[in-house]
């Protein structure tokens, strides 16, 4: 089996939630689920930024790093991690993109705002809602709404609007700009009757001429689009990857898949003429010479970046298991040649154990004091362990009955006390063993006083939700129209005067799910 030698480049403290590279490839930054952003230059740590909320966006722009979170808004830093400015967004930020002359920002309620490169808001009253995706374009920003509507916005006005299709509804599954400047869209049309087959399509648009070049039926959902100067690649949820090259015209048809990865394509990049796809726990590659290779990761591959200057590819992911260590950030240097290994050896790069230094026989016996020190340390450790166990046992006895003496409990405990103690002990054991049901907690009903503009920033907090083991894995806040507005346990939102009801839906690792609702009134 052909593979590249991968290496553990960084060891995050918590789950990686974003990964970016500077244009020259010398500075790398990543965000983690604990709200931190780490900046490294030439593989040396420069700074660690602590954000006020969950990091929702991360990108390098010119010589600066821009970071958004769901609590404050968006901030700009230099490469040393020094803050240059902050732009507060009421309700927090869910995503942002950099256009040529403005910053497009989406708040936690799916509304669009624009800001300049000095951190000043330009417009916060734009006619878009329920935005689920942004994509940069030569003339501005491509905006995708939850209802399937797509707009091209230049910062002042729409320069293109995709006509809505379907009587029942539709959604956009992916989009991107092709190598020849056209817009590639993956569309899913909803079925009229449950059980009927839904329409899955690929659309290619010439935005400058407002012309649909082609529309093709797909067997699976389009998930990823990526391009360079000469070609484009698309990835589907069945793991297939297709190459698109040459001029796209009215006669365009998809060829046979270039790669088959078996699982949904999560990341897709073109790296120095090689196609590199992240699928499940694997990175699949196709080199220009036609050779395919595979690298296994410890987590499900969710983020990948590539530097043409250094020819290095970085990747990160999460195995979605609360009981394992945080997965590393890996690196592949494409300047090296691929090697042949057995499939069982694919995991060696991240499974290498830390080498513990051992004392040699000469070191031990050359000085009797060293042997004495080793023996004393071992004895101290054993004694401390015995003392700890004795203290724990004494505490347990105290819990079973006040009259129990720790040093002669077996002789003095009465039958009644022993019975009560056993009952209490059984109850304690039951509490430990039993997995208590998951109970959602959306918080208490609240009333907020509006500001002069007739709105108020409210907080929805479901962090009190957890079962005994604290293994809540999904959060979903639904508004009174049935639309999901956040997947965070706690977030802020800006609401106008009125009465609102939100439902919190949660699930845990055992597959249990539950819901709770809360009413918010702005007066």
Show the CA angle centred on residue 266, arms to residues 10 and 108, nearest 5°: 85
- Residues near 86 by Cβ (< 8 Å), separated by ≥ 6? 72, 73, 74, 75, 76, 119
Spell out a b/e string for 131-153, using b for 16 or more CB atoms within 10 Å of the CB, else e. bbbbbebebbbbbbbbebbbbbb
pLDDT of residue 149: 93
pLDDT value at residue 88:
95
Q: Which two tokens stand for residue 369?
A: 């004091």
Burial 230-258 (b: 16+ CB within 10 A, else e): ebbbbbbbbbbbbbbeeebeeeeeeeeeb
What tokens were used for 520?
């918010």
DSSP 224-268: EEEE-SSEEEEEETTSEEEEEES---TT----S-SEE-SS-EEEE
Phi first, then psi: what are they for 315, rounded to 5°?
-145, 155
Query: What is d(CA 87, CA 238) in angstroms, rounded to the nearest whole number?
Result: 41
| Residue 37, pLDDT score | 97
Q: Chain centroid to CA 290: how far?
A: 32
Q: Provide the residue-wise pLDDT of the chain in tens; the chain has 523 residues.
A: 999 999 999 999 999 999 999 999 999 999 999 999 999 998 899 999 999 999 999 999 988 999 999 999 999 999 889 999 999 998 899 999 999 999 999 999 999 999 999 999 999 989 999 999 999 999 899 999 998 999 999 999 999 999 888 777 899 999 999 999 999 999 998 865 555 557 899 999 999 999 999 999 999 999 999 999 999 999 999 999 999 998 899 899 999 999 999 999 999 999 989 999 999 999 999 999 999 999 999 989 999 999 999 999 999 998 776 666 789 999 999 999 999 999 989 999 988 644 333 344 444 444 445 444 444 554 444 444 444 444 554 454 454 444 444 444 444 444 454 455 555 555 555 544 455 678 889 999 999 998 888 888 888 888 888 765 556 668 888 888 778 888 888 888 888 898 999 999 888 777 788 889 999 999 9
**pLDDT at res. 470:** 52
Model pLDDT, residue 172: 95
Output helix, strand, coil percentages for the chain, rounded to the nearest 5.
15, 45, 40
- For 294-320, b/e burial (b = at least 16 CB within 10 A) is bbbbbbbbbbbbbbeebebbbbbbbbe
Query: Model's pTM, two decimal places?
Result: 0.71
In the prediction, which pLDDT does 440 show? 87
Could you name the CATH architecture of 446-522?
Sandwich (2.60)
Distance of CA 310 to the CA centre of its chain: 26
Domain boundaries, the chain: 168-227+240-255, 361-433, 446-522
């Amino acid at each position: 089996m052909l593979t590249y030698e991968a290496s553990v480049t960084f060891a995050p403290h918590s789950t990686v939630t974003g990964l970016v590279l500077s244009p020259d490839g010398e500075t790398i930054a990543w965000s983690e689920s604990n709200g931190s952003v780490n900046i490294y230059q030439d593989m040396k740590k420069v700074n660690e930024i602590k954000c006020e909320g969950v990091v929702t966006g991360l990108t390098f722009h010119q010589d600066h790093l821009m970071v958004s979170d769901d609590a404050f808004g968006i901030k700009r830093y230099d490469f040393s991690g020094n803050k240059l400015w902050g732009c507060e967004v009421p309700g927090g930020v869910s995503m942002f993109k950099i256009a040529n002359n403005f910053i497009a920002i989406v708040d936690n309620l799916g509304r669009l705002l624009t800001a300049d490169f000095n951190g000043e808001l330009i417009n916060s009253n734009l006619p878009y809602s329920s935005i689920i995706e942004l994509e940069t374009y030569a003339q501005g920003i491509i905006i995708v709404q939850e209802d399937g509507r797509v707009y091209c916005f230049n910062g002042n006005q729409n320069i293109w609007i995709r006509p809505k299709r379907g009587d029942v509804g539709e959604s956009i599954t992916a989009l991107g700009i092709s190598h020849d400047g056209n817009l590639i869209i993956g569309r899913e049309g909803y079925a009229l009757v449950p059980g009927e087959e839904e329409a899955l399509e690929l659309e290619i648009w010439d935005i400058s001429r407002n012309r649909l070049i082609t529309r093709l039926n797909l067997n699976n959902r389009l998930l990823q689009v990526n391009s360079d100067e000469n070609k484009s690649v698309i990835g589907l949820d069945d793991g297939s990857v297709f190459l698109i090259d040459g001029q796209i015209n009215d006669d365009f048809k998809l060829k046979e898949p270039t790669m088959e990865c078996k699982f949904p394509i999560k990341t897709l990049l073109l790296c120095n003429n090689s196609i590199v796809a992240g699928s499940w726990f694997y990175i699949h590659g196709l080199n220009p010479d036609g050779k395919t290779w595979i690298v296994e990761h410890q987590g499900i591959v969710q983020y990948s970046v590539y530097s043409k200057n250094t020819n290095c590819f970085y990747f990160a992911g999460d195995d979605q298991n609360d009981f394992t260590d945080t997965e590393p950030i890996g690196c592949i240097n494409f300047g090296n040649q691929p090697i042949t290994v057995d499939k069982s050896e694919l995991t060696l790069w991240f499974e290498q154990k830390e080498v513990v230094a051992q004392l040699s026989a000469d070191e031990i016996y050359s000085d009797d004091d060293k042997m004495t020190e080793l023996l004393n340390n071992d004895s101290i450790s054993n004694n401390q362990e015995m003392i700890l166990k004795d203290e724990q046992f004494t505490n347990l006895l105290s819990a079973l009955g006040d009259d129990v003496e720790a040093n002669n409990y077996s002789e003095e405990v009465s039958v009644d006390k022993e019975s009560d103690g056993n009952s209490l002990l059984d109850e304690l054991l039951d509490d430990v063993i039993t997995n208590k049901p998951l109970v959602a907690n959306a918080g208490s009903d609240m009333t907020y006083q509006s500001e002069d503009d007739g709105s108020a920033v409210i907080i929805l907090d479901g962090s009190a939700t957890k079962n005994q083991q604290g293994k809540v894995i999904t959060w979903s806040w639904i508004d009174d129209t049935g639309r999901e507005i956040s997947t965070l346990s706690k977030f802020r939102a800006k609401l106008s005067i009125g009465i609102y009801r939100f439902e919190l839906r949660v699930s845990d690792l055992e597959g249990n799910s539950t819901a709770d609702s809360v009413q918010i009134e702005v007066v």
